[in-house]
Amino acid sequence: MLKTLVKASAAAALALALAPALGAGTASAYEITVPSMDYRTGPYAPNGIPFANGWTDWWTLLNERDGGINGVKIKVVPCETAYNTKKGVECYEKTKNVGESGAVLYQPLSTGITYQLIPKVSKDKIPLHSMGYGRTSAANGRIFKWIFNFPATYWSQASALVKYIGEREGGMDKLKGKKIYLVYHNSAYGKEPIRTLQALAKKHGFIYRGLPVDHPGQEQKATWLQIRRERPDWILMWGWGVMNQVAIKEAASIRFPMDHFIGVWWSGSENDVKPAGAAAKGYLSGAFHAAGANFKAHKDILKYVYDRGKAVDPAFRNRVGEVLYNRGLVAAMWASEAIRTAMKIHNTKKVRGVHVRDGFENLNVDEARLKELGLEGFTIPVKVTCANHEGPGLVAVQQWDGKQWKIVSKFYEPDREVVGALIKEDSEKYAKENNIKPRDCK
Amino acid sequence: MLYREAGQFKTSYAADQAIFPIPQDRYMLAGILAIAFGVVPFVLNDYWVNAILLPFLIYALAAIGLNILTGYCGQVSLGTGAFLAVGAYSSYKLMTGFPEMNMLVVFALAGLITAAVGLLFGLPSLRIKGFYLAVATLAAQFFIIWLFYKVPWFFNYNATGQITVPPRDLFGFRLTGPEAVPAVRYLVTLSIVAVLALAAKNMARGHVGRAWMAIRDMDIAAELIGIRPLRTKLLAFAVSSFYIGVAGAMMFAIYLGAAESGETFGIQQSFDVLFMIIIGGLGTVLGGFLGAAFLVLLPIGLEAVLVEGLGLSTNFAEHVKLILLGSLIIFFLIVEPHGLARLWQITKEKLRLWPFPH
């Protein structure tokens, strides 16, 4: 008797718990579903949290301040990937059909997950924006119809950073015989720039050498011992998560000059430099947007999102404006502009993934538009076309001055001759392996 | 009452030696298979196939493979991730090298290649035992993963070292790649797992399995009664690696579609499969399935309840999930150190007496 009672009440409790989940689907107004592939746990959480907050806060801002995009509310669906590929795939399958619109775009923030999703989104007709990460050759829009990787790829970035080094050395011809080493995360992500650096080494005559660091990157003693012995002139780093701060600390401990140590733009946030303290001062990294919270949009976020208690992570208030927060913000900004463009092109408010893809492909966020969005001077103007999914491909260098990140260089144009040829070769190989016929771009 | 064997008489040796001597077991297995083959393919969707059914089946196969080595033959292995990788990379090389090859042949060959590699790394087992063997297989894990990073031939000189599955058909149906039909992927996986699980069950009951178990229980005694340790241990390594290799090939070709040696087949993978057989039950085929269900399905179920049911935030749910899973593992190991399969066996024994236990 008692047992039956316990069972019955357990069943009732379960039913009650599940009821709101089942009822949520019946909302009347059309909502656009935007998944948020977070990683707030695991070894990459220090980087995943600010990005996820920036990404989510932008959508909340649009909902709170403007009532959504052209009156259509955005429904952000979070899913925890822990930077794990298998979980990422599960998240994708779980979120792709949520709501009436279904997921309209993906931003996985993981090169590994991006590789998994490239074939899947192409079939499900949902655009994938791997903003400055993922598969570089997806820049070729004729072959990768559903994938976008603007504002720049890893290969453009590697080339831009080499140009910066050339400028600091007093000309590209001065690179001859210089030693430029790459410390990289031993994964698809970290290996991306190798090919470009090899091609550039051949072209400019510098000595290139790659030093892999295995996941998660806490153990780098051997790597830095080697660096201490061979004393390269410059070090580039393709790192992520805990690997970044360990590398910067190790570099400081062998007294490697910080202003000759350049990270990829995923290795240049507050989390990466702060643990090394004052020793990190002068460290450089790639960038395509500014740091700081002195923009109108940030003030709006504090006012409409944090003050109203709508923030996904209220404790984050004092960190709004960190590099990776701003990166999540800029990603969401471009995505929201793509949705807006899609609404305009298709003249409908009920946009789905197919429409948003066209929105991405016709995206044009120029300086005037950035000003309207309250982000004047925040980032570079982006224009995407059918054939070019990389957009501008411009990369600047930012420096940590001990307190904050500041952009210290101009925006560099990559070496199109080298990068373009590599993109063509790699994307065509992919097309051949997967029987994809390149589409025409008029 | 339902499960009582009283009155079931066996009149032939064949009946006495059947895999499932009790009719109720046979009916239940037939029922499960009928549902798995006849009903599930018509009701599944992408989510069920990609997130639940395929990982469950493939991990179950890998767990059966490891169980042959560790559970039946008593040789601890921490190289499962590496052997999965060998299966995956050999299937990739076979698929890209011989585009016309039938996918079933690809899986079989990938299994055989992995078996050969397993044999090689099984050689030290003749000299070293227990923890020391675990360390030797750990070396296999790190060496093989490193090899797949280092030698570009394995990933066809890609820029990133990722392998991506090319689209392939099986009997006119698309099996791999993005256009694959979910039901086909599920049915092919299910068929392979079902056949191999049946084979494992049979092997374990026959003279091969008995030799393995003799080695496991006391190798010197086994040698004295005429079991050759060299052959038996290496056979266990080969058969186990074959299963794991097929699982790796399917994991790459059917389930994930793209893979990277360290990320997909890292040391964590070896531990996961080892935990599956420890929790599921060492030395049982059923344990492979139960363990895979525990480690693959339970986290997903927990997350669904915590996030969608109770409305917790995703990161909080993730932490709660880790705590719950850990406590459940400890709980089960204390309550039943022989695993879930043993729990099922006890249930069966109780059911035989129910409802009149005295």
Nearest CB to B315 within list A41, A187, A214: A41
Give residue A2's pLDDT: 46
Q: Does the distance separating the beta carbons of A40 and B160 come in below 8 Å?
A: no
Mutate to test the interface with A, among B263, B310, B321 (most CBs of A within 10 A): B263
Closest residue by Cα to residue A223 from A209, A202, A204, A208:
A209
Mutate to test the interface with A, among B165, B314, B320, B321 (most CBs of A within 10 A): B314
Tokens of A93: 């399958």
Nearest CB to B315 within list A21, A38, A215: A38
Query: What's the rounded Cα separation, in Å, for the pair A32 and A101?
Result: 6
Give residue B1's pLDDT: 60
Torsion of CA A216, A218, A222, A227, to 10 degrees: 90
Instruction: Establish if A89 touches chain B: CB-CB under 8 angstroms.
Output: yes
Q: Where in chain A is the domain with CATH 3.40.50.2300?
A: 29-152+291-392, 154-290+397-421
Nearest CA in chain A to B306: A17
Structural element, H or E, at residue B324? helix B314-335
Q: Does the distance separating the beta carbons of A192 and B159 come in below 8 Å?
A: yes
Helices B80-97 and B54-66 meet at what angle, rounded to 10?
120
| Complex confidence, ipTM | 0.83
Give the type of residue at B14. Answer: A
Tokens of B203: 């092997």
Residues of B in Cβ contact (< 8 Å) with A149: none
Torsion over CA: A39, A44, A46, A47 (sign): negative
Nearest CB to B159 within list A40, A112, A426: A426
CA distance A283 to chain B (A): 27
Give residue A15's pLDDT: 45
Give residue A358's pLDDT: 94
| Per-residue pLDDT tens digits for A132-148 | 898 888 999 999 999 99
Instruction: Establish if A433 touches chain B: CB-CB under 8 angstroms.
Output: yes
Superfamily, domain A29-152+291-392: Response regulator (3.40.50.2300)
The 3-state secondary structure of A143-198, one letter per residue: CCCCEECCCCCHHHHHHHHHHHHHHHHCCHHHHCCCEEEEEEECCHHHHCCHHHHH
Other C-beta atoms lying within 10 Å of the C-beta of residue B195: 10
- pTM for the full predicted model: 0.87
Instruction: Establish if A125 touches chain B: CB-CB under 8 angstroms.
Output: no
Closest residue by Cα to residue A380 from A372, A369, A388:
A369
Residue A283: pLDDT band (50, 70, 90) is very high
| A216 cis-preceded (ω within 30 degrees of 0) | yes
Task: Give average pLDDT by consecutive 10-residue segment, chain B, 358 residues.
Answer: 75 85 86 92 88 94 95 92 95 92 94 95 85 89 91 84 86 85 92 95 92 93 92 94 96 90 87 91 92 91 85 85 88 86 87 76
Determine the 3-state secondary structure of B180 from DSSP: coil
Give residue A34's pLDDT: 95
Instruction: Establish if A19 touches chain B: CB-CB under 8 angstroms.
Output: no
Closest residue by Cα to residue A223 from A206, A241, A235:
A235
Q: Does the distance separating the beta carbons of B258 and A433 come in below 8 Å?
A: no
Q: Does the distance separating the beta carbons of B47 and A94 come in below 8 Å?
A: yes
| Per-residue pLDDT tens digits for A8-45 | 444 444 444 444 444 444 446 899 999 999 999 888 88
Query: What's the rounded Cα separation, in Å, for the pair A385 and B34?
Result: 52
Q: Which fold has domain A154-290+397-421?
A: Rossmann fold (3.40.50)
Residues of B in Cβ contact (< 8 Å) with A419: none
| Per-residue pLDDT tens digits for A76-111 | 999 999 888 888 988 999 999 999 999 999 999 998
Nearest CA in chain A to B96: A433
Task: Check whether A411 has a pLDDT greater than 70.
Answer: yes
Give residue A14's pLDDT: 47
Residues of B in Cβ contact (< 8 Å) with A116: 256-258
Give residue A28's pLDDT: 62
Tokens of B163: 């392998």
